[in-house]
Amino acid sequence: MRPLVLIAAIALSVFSLRLAAQEYPKEVIDAAHSISSHTLMDYVHEMCLPKYEGRGAGSEGYNLIASWVVDHLSQWGVQPAGENNSYYQMYPWPYTQVLSPGEVELIVIQKGDTIRKPYTIPDQFFPGSNSDSGVVEGEVVYVGFGISAPELGYDDYIGG
């Protein structure tokens, strides 16, 4: 029985490989086989270099890495498909730069007593880079774990 299973597995594998090979032109398969994982890691390493400043939208580092990618596309013979026959497609992308980490402090006033709890960056908070500046004040409402399961007759948001 084992030899039959082994033969069936080999036949299925060969059939699958032949089927996969028939789905793509030889040029595509050859191109895929020419890609080296070492080369891909070299590209990743390059894109992570400090000179690109994290590649934040609209930053000088972003523009530098975009130019680097365009150089490669051009060398590889990829035809531009962007605006005005370029490799670029510009669109507005609002962003916020975090120039100072700022500070976060929880202030609880209860029965005349003030409790202050400062939080430290980056262990206890991290400023979002896509948020606006400002001050937030208001009442904090506890809603349990935020579970809403009407099919079980349970909802943390009701009656809070």
**Can you tell me the distance from the alpha carbon of 78 to that of 128, in angstroms, rounded to the nearest whole number?**
36
Write down the pLDDT at residue 73: 92
* Domain locations along the chain: 2-85
132's tokens:
């606006």
Q: The whole model's pTM is what? A: 0.46
pLDDT tens profile 37-80 = 899 999 999 999 999 888 877 788 989 999 999 999 999 999 99
Binned average pLDDT, 10 residues per bin, the chain of 160 residues: 58 61 80 88 92 83 92 93 88 67 83 88 71 74 82 83
**Can you tell me the distance from the alpha carbon of 95 to that of 99, in angstroms, rounded to the nearest whole number?**
12
DSSP string, 47-83: HTSGGGGGG-TTSHHHHHHHHHHHHHHHHTTPPP-SG
Among candidates 97, 95, 106, 101, which has minimal Cα distance to 136? 106
